[in-house]
Amino acid sequence: MSKPNYILGISCFYHDSGAVLLRDGEVVYAAQEERFTRKKHDDAIPVEVVKRALAHEGITIDDIDAVGFYEKPLLKFFDRILQTYFKVWPRGLVSYHHAMQEWMTKKLWTNHLFGKELGYKGPIFYSSHHEAHAASSYYASKFEDAAIVTVDGVGEWATTTVGYAKGTELALTEEIHFPHSLGLLYSAITYYLGFKVNSAEYKVMGLAPYGEPKYVEQMHKLLDLKPDGSFALNMEYFTYEYTLRMTGKKLEQLLGQPRRNPESSLDQFHKDVAASVQAITEEAMMLIVKHAKETCPSENLCLAGGVALNCVANGKILRSNMFKNIYIQPASGDAGGALGVAYLIWHREFKGKRSSPLPHAYWGSEYDGTAIEHALKDHGLTYEKLSASDTIKTVAQLLEGDNVIGWFQGRMEYGPRALGNRSIIADARNKENWKKVNLKIKFRESFRPFAPTVLEEKVDDWFELDRESPYMLLVADVHADKREKIPAVTHVDGSARIQTINREQNPRYYDLIKAFDDRTGCPVIINTSFNVRGEPIVESPKDAINCFLHTQMDYLVLGNFLVRKDAQNQKMQDNAAYLEQFELD
């Protein structure tokens, strides 16, 4: 029997670092580093992910046949970055020094650092940033051919690409280059609205339905958009080429108000600006995709890059019917570059057969009952151990009404969304759950919407969607006659960011929602990520327990172990040391 071929894909140094392990071209492990280090958007070499990937397979780093990095650092630094600083000199002096420190200490020395941090001595392959994005979507899809569109902030030079793939061959044929970037436009407005760049763009997307696109004319002064989807930014309004900020006074003058101070109140103006940048993003994406359809002979579209996480734009593309099928893999942002470069090595360097379609997003670590029980005992918690069937039955009953439940099961999800294994769940029929989960559990802005999970076979009974959406990357309207029935997941504009689930993808999560449907006649529940604002999604039982104890969640379900908050409250009242340990009020 021949030795399996192992390929390790890595993305790091910018934001959301991650690693993916392929065995004979198939994914066996994938995760983001932030889940283990507990540092949100951690950009470090994903040492912890690699450790767990190797342990999962029972191999060592010496068993890895090739490592891939998701972009070309030399091209990025010596070509794009240095050219940019020379172009804007001397305005970029401070930014230049900051960048030089970053690049000269780590980013240029990938080979050395992988050897030092990972103990790896074998060959390292590099793809371009957008090739990695494209490959991550196409090779994970079930399509035999596809048009490909990738859109993000920036890779080496490219910010937007169009390409085509068939069989195992993939080629990008058109590019738009930095500094002209749809992703950076969205990030610039994110910055202007007082949110964190490369972290809070989804807040802008969630805020947009509360506003009217009153500033689209101003947005068109920022973005010169052509009918073929090509575009250029008016760089007079942006400062990211030569400062550590995204925008300056000129944009404030254009929009008529100064940049919002972070954490200050949001007024109608901010909501209208969010609606306006969302509108022009959708307009641009529609034109880019239309051009891809005209130039690439396929009924299938693969989307990737950070802008492909804009599920509102994705939903609009789907409803346009330009393509028969659309695919977006669960880690569409930079973390997914690790998946793409691993696929490229398999197909280009090892001439491997076409990878199987990615069946689900559950590729992280898993904890058995023994590990869970040890964590519960270490924390001194009172708990009940149930059978698998009783767990489903009990939690389906507890979901009814205003209970909020931490649901920790199986292997952790790959990508930014919790998809039923590291989730906080609640009854979508109770409108008060929206406010309760936002303010008392997630500690986040009250305007933020919640996504529904719905049984796949019933999605079109409740939503204007006729296909699966397993990774929560499509927005569609809730049917008008169902909006009052599931108000906790119906956004202000009548839409919802939908996750569908079938039993093959996740039997336990599916069975829970099916049992809830059998009890209530509603196949829809709230699903939001198991974390509080500013922290990564929980990875381990310890993480889940700490989150549970620091919030007003009512129940915690770890595997088949049920923890009731009211039982812990009495224990905490009787144990001052326990309270001090977790710094509870």
3-state secondary structure 250-283: HHHHHHCCCCCCCCCCCCHHHHHHHHHHHHHHHH
- The pLDDT assigned to 105 comes to 62
Q: Is the omega angle on the peptide bond into residue 416 within 30 degrees of 0, that is, cis?
A: no
H or E element, residue 497: strand 495-501
Rounded CA separation 42/253 (Å): 35
Angle at 464 between CA 500 and CA 413, to 5 degrees: 20
Going by C-alpha positions, the residue among 234, 206, 210, 204 that lies closest to residue 220 is 234
Going by C-alpha positions, the residue among 306, 283, 286, 159 that lies closest to residue 220 is 283
CATH class of the domain comprising 6-140+331-349: alpha beta
User: What is the pTM (predicted TM-score) of this model?
Assistant: 0.93
- The pLDDT assigned to 435 comes to 87
299 φ, ψ to 5°? -90, 0
Rounded CA separation 339/133 (Å): 8
Q: Are 231 and 179 in contact (CB under 8 A)?
A: no
Q: Are 466 and 356 in contact (CB under 8 A)?
A: no
Rounded CA separation 272/302 (Å): 31
Distance of CA 572 to the CA centre of its chain: 36
Q: Are 156 and 72 in contact (CB under 8 A)?
A: yes
- The pLDDT assigned to 582 comes to 41
Rounded CA separation 22/53 (Å): 10
Q: Are 42 and 33 in contact (CB under 8 A)?
A: yes
Going by C-alpha positions, the residue among 215, 183, 190, 225 that lies closest to residue 204 is 190
326 strand-pairing partners: 301
Q: Is the omega angle on the peptide bond into residue 46 within 30 degrees of 0, that is, cis?
A: no
Cα 125 to Cα 70, 457, 513: the distances in Å are 9, 42, 43
Going by C-alpha positions, the residue among 292, 304, 313 that lies closest to residue 339 is 304
Q: Are 134 and 172 in contact (CB under 8 A)?
A: yes
Determine the number of helices (DSSP H) and then strands (DSSP E) in the chain: 22, 21
| DSSP secondary structure letter of residue 237 | G
- The pLDDT assigned to 193 comes to 97
- The pLDDT assigned to 107 comes to 60
Residue for token pair 């906080």: 424
Where does residue 549 rank: exposed (0-12), middle (13-18), buried (19+ CB within 10 A)? buried
Where are the chain's structural domains? 6-140+331-349, 176-328, 369-582
Q: Are 361 and 335 in contact (CB under 8 A)?
A: no
Give 369-582's CATH code, choosing from 3.90.870.20, 3.40.47.10, 3.30.450.90, 3.40.1390.10.
Answer: 3.90.870.20
Residue for token pair 């995760």: 31
Q: How many other CB atoms are there within 10 angstroms of residue 515's CB atom?
A: 18
Residue for token pair 């969205």: 186
CB neighbour list of residue 577: distance below 8 Å, 6 or more residues apart = none
Rounded CA separation 34/46 (Å): 9
Query: Amino acid letter at 520?
Result: T
- The pLDDT assigned to 284 comes to 98
The answer to whether 176-328 and 369-582 have equal CATH topology is: no
**Helix axes 182-192 and 268-295, enclosed angle (nearest 10):** 170
pLDDT along the chain (585 residues), means of 10: 92 93 98 97 95 98 97 67 58 58 60 85 95 98 98 93 98 96 97 93 95 98 97 95 87 97 93 98 98 96 96 96 97 96 98 96 98 97 97 98 96 97 97 88 85 98 97 97 97 96 98 98 97 94 96 96 86 48 38
Q: Are 557 and 544 in contact (CB under 8 A)?
A: no
CATH superfamily of 176-328: ATPase, nucleotide binding domain (3.30.420.40)
H or E element, residue 578: helix 576-582
Report residue 15 as tokens. Answer: 């934001």
Under DSSP, is residue 202 helix (H, G, I), strand (E, B) or coil?
Answer: helix
- The pLDDT assigned to 583 comes to 40
Rounded CA separation 160/495 (Å): 28
Rounded CA separation 580/529 (Å): 27
Under DSSP, is residue 410 helix (H, G, I), strand (E, B) or coil?
Answer: coil
Q: Positive or negative CA dihedral for 238, 241, 245, 246?
A: positive
Report residue 377 as tokens. Answer: 């005992």
- The pLDDT assigned to 585 comes to 30
Under DSSP, is residue 567 helix (H, G, I), strand (E, B) or coil?
Answer: helix
DSSP string, 183-197: HHHHHHHHHHTTPPT
